[in-house]
Amino acid sequence: MTRRKQAVGLVVALALCFAAAGLGGLLTREGVAAWYPGIAKPDWTPPGWVFGPVWTFLYAAMAVAAWLVWRTGREHRRLPLALFAIQLALNVTWSGLFFALRQPGWAFAEILILWLAILATTASFYEGSKTAFWLMTPYLAWVTFAAVLNAAIWRLNLPA
């Protein structure tokens, strides 16, 4: 594979991941401003400024991981990259459920499916690129934390 083709592949992977980030951001914006500040959250909720840098790092790492698997050129990359696309769509869906629709219960159910999709993607990346596998692990860890936080927020905001 030529260097040019590899560079284009990396740009495409970054563009796809940051397009998902942008769409998620659009779905999140109004809820973060109008709804999220007023709901009950556990004391251990990270401050708002943490989320931007963390997600920027995670989307970049995810893109590089997908690119590393893509550039192997092996036929077995189809399933890992399909799983990657599925988890990316589920990632955006969570933002819509939690922030746009303001449904933490449905978002919690969805984040469990997202977590399984990330786990499957991460595991499938191992054969193609161990580096890609390791680049996905912070994302899996963060979504694990996000699922626990989502569950706590849902519980704290159930009607009395």
One DSSP character per residue, 44-81 reads: TPPPHHHHHHHHHHHHHHHHHHHHHHHTT--GGGHHHH
| pTM for the whole structure | 0.95
The CB density around residue 6, as the number of other CB atoms within 10 Å, is 13
What CATH number is given to the structural domain containing 102? 1.20.1260.100
Q: Which residue has the tokens 């963060």?
A: 142
Would you mind telling me the total number of residues written for the chain in this entry?
160
Name the token pair of 27. Answer: 């779905």
Helix (H) or strand (E) holding 144: helix 130-156
The CB density around residue 144, as the number of other CB atoms within 10 Å, is 14
Q: What are phi and psi of 103, to 5 degrees?
A: -120, 80
- Give the pLDDT mean for 81-87: 98
Residue-wise pLDDT tens digits, 110-139: 999 999 999 999 999 999 999 999 999 999
Count up the domains in the chain and report the number.
1
Residue-wise pLDDT tens digits, 7-63: 999 999 999 999 999 999 999 999 999 999 999 999 999 999 999 999 999 999 999
Residue among 40, 59, 22 at smallest CA distance from 142: 59
The CB density around residue 129, as the number of other CB atoms within 10 Å, is 21
Domain region containing 62: 3-156
**Eight-state DSSP code of residue 100:** I
The confidence band for 93, taking pLDDT boundaries of 50, 70 and 90, is very high
